[in-house]
Amino acid sequence: MSKFPGLKLTNIDAPSLGSPITMTDEGKLIVPNDPVIPFIEGDGIGPDITRAMKIVAENAVYKAYGSNKKLHFWEIYAGEKCNQMFGNWLIDDTLEAIKYFKVAIKGPLMTPVGGGIRSINVRLRQALELYACIRPVRYFDGVPSPLKEPWKVNMVVFRENMEDVYAGIEWPAGSVECAKIRNVLTNEFGISLREDVGLGLKPISVFGSKRIMRKALQYAIERGRSSVTIVHKGNIMKYTEGLFRACCYEVAKEEFFDQTITEEDLSSKRTGFSSSKKVIVKDRIADAMFQQILLRPEEYDVVVTPNLNGDYLSDAIAATVGGLGIAPGANVGDEAAVFEATHGTAPKYAGMDKVNPTSLILSSVMMLEHIGWKEAAALIVRGIERTIQSKTVTYDLARLMKGASEVSCSKFAETVCENM
């Protein structure tokens, strides 16, 4: 009898060791002591940082639990390596594996600008219904930052992952399809457009908006965070991002009434509103929020946004604490979760054992927290803190830190293990 009943693979072999993570009917993970963790090493620098991540995660688990628990990493495929092996940038086996084993981790995947393949990252999110992109950003003491007081930054961005312009509903200029859409807009709605336009749709639904807000509020309540800020451009896009804002407030009011309070109610002089142990719900216009993360970052905790705003904003917040090299991320749905490096593939550094692996290592911290192995996660954070404070860092930080010792990607991982 198969060790993994129901796992249907065509191109790759099932893992030889480990057990699957399963889920209750209520959506709670059941994690064995030997979980299989599918991984995609990624393109460009992906193999380097994935090796580093695995070393750190495996060491942390051993130091936290001895031989009682162990991660069994199992390689699955997407991106350039997948295309070379199977003639496809993303194979069905990869999607099947993530659905089956519930939790996976991946390095960065290449997406060409303009023509060529669509984003594999977007395809993964859509195929697996990974509707919440979660990006925690915090400062590590000693990391060079453009802010005078970067330690005030401690935010978690919840970016809606399925809708908005990232849904990929668009037509190129000059195409027959684009002309049809343009004619409908002109003839039926009186909207005048130039003949040479490219067109795209920006779908934002009540369902999708409420779902991401629900996820953000649950996170804030469970983690004891102080506020959830809705970031939007509802002043201009009233029926899409304005809808997003309205739906977020509706979820707070109707589903989390006893656990939340709006900023408006808190600041009003009306009686009967207490902020004691409640999450404050507020909203900010997106362009103003970019100012706020620089000037008043301490006022923001959990941030929830539509897709495009979240993409911009999460990278901008990461820049305030030292850049994407130390910013982790996860794409989470109700059935599966994929943890990932948030930066690009940096192909000019591929295979050089040079780049900073902290983003993917911190993503493994999120993964360990997700499966409930919090002791191992805490060890990794401690190891990173001590390593950076000792100024033993990769080139990207070493060139900005006076008196730093520059080390390779793999040596940085080894040092993190020593400093746990």
**Which residues are identified as catalytic?**
166, 233, 287, 311
> Can you tell me whether residue 92 is helix, strand or coil?
helix
3-state class (DSSP) for residue 365: helix
Would the annotation count 277 as a binding residue? no
253 marked ligand binding residue: no
Side chain identity, residue 202: K
Would you tell me how many other CB atoms lie within 10 Å of the CB of residue 128?
A: 20
344 in a known ligand binding site = yes
**370 annotated as belonging to a binding site for a ligand:** no
345 marked ligand binding residue:
yes
Distance CA 382, CA 181 (A): 55
- Give the strand pairing for 72-75 and 36-40: parallel
C-alpha 51/C-alpha 73 separation (Å) is 11
Is 72 annotated as contributing to ligand binding? Answer: no
- Report the run of H or E that residue 219 belongs to, with start and end: helix 206-223
Q: Does residue 373 sit in helix, strand or coil?
A: coil
Q: Hunting for tokens 């299989």 — which residue is that?
A: 36
Q: Kindly report the backbone phi and psi dihedral angles of residue 331, in degrees, each rounded to the nearest multiple of 5, phi listed first.
A: -115, 115
The secondary structure of residue 141, as a DSSP letter, is T
Q: Is 48 annotated as a binding residue?
A: no
* 119 is known to lie in a ligand binding site: yes
Query: Residue 330 carries which side chain, given as an amino acid letter?
Result: A
Which H or E run includes 54? helix 46-65
Spatial distance between the Cα atoms of 313 and 194, rounded to a whole number of angstroms: 31
Tell me whether residue 88 is annotated as binding. no
CB atoms within 10 A of CB 77: 23
> Residue 226 in 3-state DSSP?
coil
**Tokens 């639990």 sit at which residue?**
65
Residue 392: in which H helix or E strand, if any? strand 392-393
Annotated binding-site residue? 183: no
Q: Check the annotation: does 396 bind a ligand.
A: no
Is 121 annotated in a binding site? The answer is yes
Q: What is the SS3 assignment for 37?
A: strand
Closest listed residue to residue 208, CA positions, set 104, 333, 122: 333
Annotated binding residues for Mg(2+), written as ranges, equal 311
Annotated binding residues, written as ranges, equal 119, 121, 125, 135, 159, 311, 343-349, 356, 395, 399
Annotated binding residues for D-threo-isocitrate, written as ranges, equal 119, 121, 125, 135, 159
Annotated binding residues for NADP(+), written as ranges, equal 343-349, 356, 395, 399
